[in-house]
Amino acid sequence: MSEHPDSALVRRGYAAFSAGDMETLAGLMTADCVHHVPGSHPLSGHFKGRDNVLGTYYAGMAEQTDGTMTVDLERVMADGRGHVISVHRIRAQRQGRTIDENGALFFTIVGGKISDIDECVADIDASDAFWS
């Protein structure tokens, strides 16, 4: 059985993110894409617009972790109606601290592109402590 196109889109996004290929990643998102980040740390909140998602949030994570962050995709599940859930493991180091936890993203796909990303983390307090 072949993979659903929405799941394949999300997998391409993870591959581009892991490779630092922001040009490819940008092509997978709508111009008005929004990424919602939980918690109460400097990188939490709502990043509105593809350029803000890529240039502020994703670049901010890379900068804050001195490029040590890795994201290993574990699962992708689609509902066939424009929604995909991914489960991953994030590992990074920052200012003498380490994070190693599970996370998930809930994607909304419109017209074959990612238009909305809701992020969930296994431990919000640990995430806040790491990114603060």
pLDDT tens-digit series, residues 82-112: 999 999 999 999 999 999 999 999 999 999 9
Q: Report pLDDT digits (tens) over 51-91.
A: 999 999 999 999 999 999 999 999 999 999 999 999 999 99
Residue ranges of domains in the chain, CATH in brackets: 5-131 (3.10.450.50)
Q: Is 96 left (phi over 0), alpha (psi -120 to 50) or beta?
A: left
Residue in this structure with the two tokens 């901010």, named with its chain if needed? 60
**C-alpha 57 chain-centroid distance:** 9
